[in-house]
Amino acid sequence: MAQHLDYGFDHYKKGLHLKKSSLTPCRVIAQYNYIYDLAAPHGVVSGECSGKLLYANELLPVVGDWVLAEAMNDLAIIHEILPRKSAISRKAAGRAVSEQVLAANLDALGIVTALDNNYNRNRVERFIALALQNNIEPILIFNKTDVCPDLEKTKEEVARHFNSYRSYFISLVSREGLPLLQKEVLVPHQTIALVGSSGVGKSTLINYLLKEEVIPTNAVRQKDQRGRHTTTSRNLYLLKNKAMVIDNPGIRELGLWQADKGLARVFSELEQLAAQCRYPDCQHLSEPGCAVLKAVASGELAQEQYDNYIKLRKENEFLKRKTDKSQAANTKKRWKSISKEIKRIYKNKH
């Protein structure tokens, strides 16, 4: 295989045993429906999936993937997706229950929040759960410190609730915090994806890092501080120090996807309390002897944290029932048995 140094191929292949191939390893750096921009050893080329990959495999390339491609005139044909070391996924927007992979082969997930009334602790916990589920380091980036109504209070709250994660407070107006962010987060040959709502400053941050206006940006609406979608596709950018940053469109609907491990790690304090419950299958809703409810009542556990845990757990369990066919079959069988028992009892009474 040819070496691909610029976009982190050496970093990617550490610990992997890749088979020899006459095809060229390329990294997906942009996606436009079924057309891709690929970083190849000789430069950036356009590519598309082979018929076999497109129709015989549910797994299609996403930004950040390493693929094996064959040069065909002006278009490269992607024949294989190399193993993903990590990926960030969510439930696809809408009613359909399906997975949407946002980006692959990440070392970190930069969770960008604006401090102009955009800060939402529950949303941050949701992003953290998705990152930890896939063993990706969550890094919290709080932008717009220059317009934060009470910066010190916000910093105290972040330190209290998110002290297990690296946090950075920055301003793209005053440049506060940016040198430290660049030094500690943007590591050569590693990839970080930026996620967050529209208008939090993801694209502006990348423009600053690239030292040029590569991505168009829009101001937020003043009446409600809601962002307007500027980024409409995912793109991977190579910085001068060889660090890589992926820009994502603003995410309005962030559904969990198979996040058991991620939730357990985000709410580790609550999970430790759960081990003290009287019943091992306690749902922490109304059961007697529930250590979690006792902690909420005493103030040891914040009501907001408990509420968000229950909400996210219910959402995750609902998706598991929908996606796990065996679990769905067992649930159907159990309810069928319950229905028969109800009918039997009703019949005996009459």
Divide the 350 residues of the chain into consecutive groups of 10 and give the mean pLDDT of each group. Answer: 69 84 91 90 90 80 94 85 89 66 93 85 86 91 92 91 93 94 92 88 89 60 45 82 85 61 82 91 90 93 89 80 59 60 60
- Supply the pLDDT for residue 18: 82
Both tokens of 29, joined, read 């750096």
- Supply the pLDDT for residue 264: 81
What predicted TM-score, i.e. pTM, was given to this entire model? Answer: 0.79
C-alpha distances (whole Å) from 6 to each of 41, 66, 210 are 8, 13, 15
**Does residue 238 contact residue 7 with C-beta atoms inside 8 Å?**
yes
**Does residue 256 contact residue 90 with C-beta atoms inside 8 Å?**
yes
Residue type, 8: G
Q: How many CA atoms lie within 13 Å of 116's alpha carbon, on the beta-carbon side?
A: 20
Asked whether the domain spanning 267-345 has the same topology as the one spanning 9-81, the reply is: no
Whether CATH 2.40.50.140 fits 9-81: yes
Domain residue extents for the chain: 9-81, 87-247, 267-345
**Does residue 285 contact residue 310 with C-beta atoms inside 8 Å?**
yes
Both tokens of 254, joined, read 């962030």
Whether CATH 1.10.10.10 fits 267-345: no
Q: What is the DSSP string of 30-86?
A: EEETTEEEEEETTEEEEEEE-HHHHHH-S----TT-EEEEEEETTEEEEEEEPPPS-
Q: Is 1 exposed, middle or buried (0-12, 13-18, 19+ CB in 10 A)?
A: middle
Return the H-helix or E-strand segment holding 3.
none
- Supply the pLDDT for residue 89: 81
- Supply the pLDDT for residue 152: 93
- Supply the pLDDT for residue 123: 85
- Supply the pLDDT for residue 49: 92
C-alpha distances (whole Å) from 147 to each of 173, 178, 199, 203, 337 are 10, 16, 14, 19, 59
**Does residue 169 contact residue 114 with C-beta atoms inside 8 Å?**
no
**CATH fourth-level superfamily of 87-247:** P-loop containing nucleotide triphosphate hydrolases (3.40.50.300)
Tokens 């057309």, residue located: 35
Both tokens of 316, joined, read 């995750």
Q: What is the DSSP string of 129-196?
A: HHHHHTT-EEEEEEE-GGG-TTHHHHHHHHHHH-TTSEEEE--TTT-TTHHHHHHHH--TT-EEEEE-
Please tell me the distance from the alpha carbon of residue 143 to that of residue 112, in angstroms, as a whole number.
7
